[in-house]
Amino acid sequence: MWVFRLLVFAQFAIVLMLLYVTGTLQLGWVAWSVLAASVGLGLWAVFTMGKHFNVSPRLGKDAPLRTSGPYRFVRHPMYLALLIFCGTFLVERFSLYGVFLWLALLLVLACKVHYEERELRKRFSGSQPGLFTTTGVDSTSGQQQQGKR
């Protein structure tokens, strides 16, 4: 689907522009620590996905729902890692253009999450009731679930 390709292209283009705008040299040790942690989270998520890793929001035909590794704690750890990674550069080298790019990245990733959640719901909600509720609020619709508070 062309929308998926556009989202992936936009994601990578924004990240490259943000790195160019903020610069990558002479970061402090705290920034390097946060960068290392975000890369670690991203790699943990990639290794957990294994052969089903994909940068597109489209689910593979035989891709299982992951609930282990970082997916025990965060629904989309790769996106979180990318936001933290890029946000670290922005904090170190602040610019309004950088803020605009980071917010654009957030919007692109939110669109990807929307597509992914819709596909996950179609494929897995019938087989595992309650899967999409952890706090009593459905993570995709925001609706309060019966019996959950």
Per-residue pLDDT of the chain (149 residues; tens, 9 = 90+): 788 889 999 999 999 998 888 876 678 889 899 999 999 999 999 999 998 888 888 888 888 888 899 999 998 999 999 999 999 988 888 889 999 999 999 999 999 999 988 888 888 876 655 566 553 334 444 444 444 33
Closest-CA residue to 113 (of 2, 11, 34, 1): 11
Residue 10 near residue 62, CB atoms below 8 Å: no
Domain segments of the chain: what residues?
Answer: 2-56+64-121
